[in-house]
Structures are given as C-alpha cells and as structure tokens.
C-alpha cells in the first residue's frame, strides 16, 4: 500500500498534554477544515419520550443497590453505586426523587441536518459510528452530495445534546466517489476518525474542541478497482492506533490490519485471510477490530462460505491466530464485539429461526477463549424483520443491542415501516427491557423510516445511540438518543 506523509497529528494523540484547557464545551466556532461551519441553529434538540415505547421483561431490578448488596442512600448528595444521580441534574434532566431513572428512560433525543457541514451537500445524512467522552459525544458518517457522491461527516455534541460543531470533509485521492467516515475514537484532545476516501483508507485527526482538521493519512490499496473499507479505530495500551478492515477484490478479498506507531512513523500493513470458500481463496467483509485488555485483537465480520457466514477470530499482534468461530446463516455478519469487564465479549447478528421465518436479532456472549456462554434470539411482530446495528456492554456486565425493525404490514408507499429498537440483557442473558423508537412520522403520521446505526456507553453508564430518521420533508437527518441503563 502507498500512503501520504501526513502523520504529524499522531504525535498529538500520543501526547498527554492539552492545548485548550477547560471542559471543551466552548468549541462552537466554525471550523475552517473541510468547509466546517457552526451549526447550533441546525440542531433541533428535543426530548421525544412520547415517540419511544419501553417495556420491561422479567424481573429487572430498578432499585438503587450497591455492588456489595447494601442499599445506596438517596438524598446524601453523593452518587453511589446503584444511583444515576443524587440531587444534581443529569445531562440537563432533573434527578428523580429516588435517584435513579427507570430503565430505558430517554434522557434526551436530538436531530440535526448535516447540510450545515458543507453548503453544497444535500440533506441525506447517514451516521455510521458514535463515541462518547466525559464532555462530548461525536458522531461520524456520510453526507449525500448533489452529484450522488459522499462526504465524511464529523459532528460533536455536548453531553446534553447541543450540537457544537460539524465538519463535512472530502479527501479526494483517485477519483470522485465514496467519501465517508466509518469509525471514531475520542482520545483526549483528538477525535480520531477512520473512513474511506475514493476507495482508499482514510485516517484523520480533528481537534476535539473546534473541529479543525489536524492532519490526515491516506493509504491506497494495491488494486485500483477495489474498495478498502476500514472499521472502527482501536487503541493499544502503548498508544498504537489499529485499523482493521477488508477489501473487495473481485475473487480473493483479504482483510487488513493497519498499525500506526504513536510517534507518527509509517503504518505497518498486515494482510490476512479467512476460511476458504474455494481452494486458495477467501472473502471477508464488514470487518471490525477490538483490542482486548490483554493486548490481543478480536476481529469480527463476515466470511463467505457454505453453511454460515458470521465469522470472528482472535489474534496476537505478532500474527498468531488463537482461535476462530463461524456461525449464522448465509449473509449473516457478526457486529463489532463489545468487551465485558471479565474479558468475555458480546456480539450480535441477524438470523432466521427457520428457513422461511422473518429475520431476528441474535445476541451471544463468549468467553475469551471463544467458547459460547449464552445466546438469545429476539424478534418483533409477525411480518417484521429485525437486524442488529451494534452491541455495547457496561461495567455491570449488561449487554445492549441496537437494531432496526422493518414492518412489511406498513401503509408506507415502499411497503415497509422502519423503527429502531434497543434490547437490554443482564450478564446471564436474561432480557431486562426493550425500547422501540418510531420517529417524526410521514404520511400523516401513519409510518416512519428510522434506521439504527451505532451504539456506545458513555462514561456515566448511559446508553448512546445514533441513526438516521426520515423527516416529513423526505430527507434523512441524524438522530442521537441517550437512554438510562
């Protein structure tokens, strides 16, 4: 692979110092990078609790209980285990009298139009990843352009949902075409973004406070007719940035691992293959990488092969393969893995309980050795398909799955209604609750098109989801929601 010598920002990622100070919530000035602009007026923050329906399954515990089994003392102005707050507002929402929000409670929801990121862009906005830090939520994805191309979307919101800055960035490499951000990590003062730019892997660093483009790196693949699609970036304990993805070679589609030294040296590139679907050939797609606590790499995605396509593999950074797992139906893919505190992990995929059944969301938890611990299947009403978009886990071992429900019985002109769903499970796989979100509504409110895209857990344990929602004027806007665990 060839590359451009734009890696000075990597040293900023490795630095512990801050050039800004403060809590970062004052970054509202327009960015000069990538035609960024100030977009506070583009945000339409609102609490849309009436658009979401939450139900509790089983015996979900909503009492404030500490980890040692004792009860937290609500009203002592100290947030203790089992409490969400104690007197102070949370993300702009008053603290409940019992110091705990109901599970699945929507603290806030906001939508915004990505047209503010770059004036020539149309208003079809497609978020693809989300990250949360102490003082910010960052959403990345793509903006549709008038010539049917894409631009990378990078937007920062405050923890309470105010849009602070937004950038629509295009990094042309070989030809006009795909430009979109596919992954994001917030590392101190830098928003680290990965994506695709004209079929090449794009990695960029943006100033977390004002959205200024600090630097970027373009890695061009060896085949000019192939796309190189990266997943979410990951950080090793030594600060190395790891980007896992897959190419789409016409016959043999290998995966790749880019490793950026935190000092800014050229990235190393490792190619790897999955199970063979024909002698000497394998095809991988939708790959995501997660760095485990013991500094190994967990790769998930899809490997085309007879009998099941969802595939994952645990590897060392020396190239040794420790184990691999294949599961699911033809066309199924594992989501990016979510690590749990004990080293186990959760993944999700779509599958059909029977050959003619509707698609359902499958979620499973695995030991670090790849041994299954539990799995569950969830489906909506008959005549609907449910597919996962992502999975997250919190410090208590709870697992959350974000997905999209497609209803074939809808009065929509397209014959389908699309809603977003969040599913919550305890550490043993018992479903705790589910939340279904149906957006602004079209056709007089008879149907809506809301697509789930990404999920994460913020530093306080709240659930952050993003997706795109069709407005009554037939344009897709970004939606971000925050729910109580």
pLDDT digits (tens, 9 = 90+) for 98-147: 999 999 999 999 999 876 544 344 567 889 999 999 999 999 998 875 44
β-bridge partners, 464:
456, 482
pTM, 2 dp: 0.87
pLDDT at 38: 35
DSSP state of 117: G
pLDDT at residue 25, as a whole number:
34
Residues 107 and 94 in one domain: no
Tell me: do 305 and 441 sit in the same domain: yes
Which residue range is the domain that position 80 belongs to?
A: 61-65+72-98
Distance CA 482, CA 465 (A): 6
Count structural domains, the chain: 2
Give the pLDDT confidence score for residue 154 in this predicted structure.
Answer: 94
Q: How far apart are CA 375 and CA 368, in angstroms?
A: 15
Based on the domain organization, do 143 and 93 belong to the same domain? no
Same domain, 349 and 253: yes
Residue 22 resides in a domain = no
Q: What is the CATH number of the domain that holds 121?
A: 2.130.10.10
| Within a domain: 262 | yes
Q: In terms of domains, do 88 and 213 share one?
A: no
Residue 292 to residues 302, 367, 397, Cα–Cα distance (Å): 20, 12, 16
The verdict on residue 443 lying in a domain is yes
CA atoms within 13 A on the CB side of 130: 30
**Pick from 40-49, 82-91, 100-109, 242-251: least confident:** 40-49
Query: Structure tokens of 309?
Result: 């396509």
Whole-angstrom Cα distance, residue 177 to residue 196? 10
How big is the CA angle at 410 (ends 406 and 412), to the nearest 5 degrees?
A: 100
Of 356, 375, 355, which is closest to residue 365 (Cα–Cα)? 375
86, 139: one domain: no
Inside any domain, residue 387: yes
Tell me: do 188 and 319 sit in the same domain.
yes
Residues 140, 144, 150: CA angle, nearest 5 degrees: 70
Mean pLDDT of the chain: 81
CB-side neighbour CA atoms (13 Å) of 218: 14
Task: Among 139-153, 222-236, 332-346, 435-449, name the most confident range.
Answer: 332-346
What are 60's two structure tokens?
A: 């979900």
Does the pLDDT value for residue 306 go beyond 50?
Answer: yes
CA-based nearest residue to 186, from 141, 134, 142:
134
- For position 259, what pLDDT does the model report? 94
Assess whether 344 and 383 both reside in one domain: yes
Q: Count Cβ atoms below 10 Å from residue 329 Cβ, excluding itself.
A: 16
78 and 120 both lie in a single domain: no
* Coil, strand or helix at 40: helix
String of DSSP letters for 143-200? EEETTS-EEEEEEEE-TTS-EEEEEEE---SSSS--EEEEEEEEETTEEEEEEEETTE
Strands (E), 304-409: 310-315, 321-327, 338-339, 345-351, 360-366, 372-378, 384-393, 399-407
DSSP for residue 130:
E
């Amino acid at each position: 692979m060839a590359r451009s010598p734009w890696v000075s920002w990597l040293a900023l990622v490795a630095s512990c110092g801050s050039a800004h100070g403060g809590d970062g919530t004052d970054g509202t000035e327009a960015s000069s990078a990538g035609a960024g602009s100030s977009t506070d007026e583009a945000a339409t923050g609102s609490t849309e609790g009436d658009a979401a329906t939450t139900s509790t399954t089983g015996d979900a515990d909503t009492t404030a209980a500490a980890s040692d089994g004792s009860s937290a003392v609500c009203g002592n102005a100290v947030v203790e285990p089992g409490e969400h707050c104690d007197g102070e507002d949370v993300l702009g929402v008053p603290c409940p009298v019992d110091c705990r929000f109901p599970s699945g409670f929507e603290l806030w929801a906001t939508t915004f139009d990505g047209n503010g990121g770059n004036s020539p862009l149309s208003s079809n906005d497609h978020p693809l990843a989300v990250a949360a830090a102490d003082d910010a939520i960052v959403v990345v994805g793509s903006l549709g352009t008038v010539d049917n191309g894409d631009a990378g979307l990078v937007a920062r919101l405050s923890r309470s949902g105010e849009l602070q800055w937004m950038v629509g960035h295009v990094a042309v490499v070989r030809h006009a075409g795909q430009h979109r951000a596919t992954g994001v990590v917030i590392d101190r003062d830098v928003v680290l973004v990965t994506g695709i730019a004209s079929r090449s892997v794009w990695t960029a660093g943006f100033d977390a406070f004002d959205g200024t483009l600090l630097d970027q790196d373009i890695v061009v693949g060896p085949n000019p007719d192939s796309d190189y699609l990266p997943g979410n970036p990951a950080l090793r304990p030594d600060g190395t940035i790891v980007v896992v993805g897959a190419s789409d070679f016409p016959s043999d589609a290998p995966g790749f691992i880019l490793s950026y030294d935190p000092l800014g040296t050229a990235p190393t590139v490792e190619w790897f293959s999955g199970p063979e679907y024909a002698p000497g050939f394998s095809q991988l797609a939708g790959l995501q990488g997660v760095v485990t606590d013991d500094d190994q790499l967990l790769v998930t995605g899809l490997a085309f092969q007879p009998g099941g396509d969802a595939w994952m593999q645990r590897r060392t950074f020396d190239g040794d393969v420790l184990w691999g797992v294949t599961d699911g139906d033809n066309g199924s893919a594992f989501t990016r893995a979510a690590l749990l505190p004990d080293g186990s992990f959760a993944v999700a995929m779509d599958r059909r309980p029977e050959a003619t059944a509707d698609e359902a969301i499958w979620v499973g938890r695995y030991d670090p050795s790849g041994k299954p611990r539990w799995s569950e299947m969830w489906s909506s009403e008959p005549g609907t398909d449910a597919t996962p978009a992502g999975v997250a886990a919190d410090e208590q071992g709870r697992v959350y799955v974000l997905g999209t429900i497609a209803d074939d019985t809808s009065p929509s002109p397209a014959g389908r209604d699309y809603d977003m769903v969040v599913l919550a499970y305890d550490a043993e796989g018992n479903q705790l609750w589910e939340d279904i979100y149906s957006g602004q509504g079209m056709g007089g409110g008879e149907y809506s098109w809301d697509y789930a895209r990404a999920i994460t857990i913020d530093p306080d344990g709240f659930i952050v989801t993003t997706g795109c929602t069709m407005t009554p004027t037939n344009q897709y806007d970004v939606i971000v929601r925050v729910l109580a665990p």
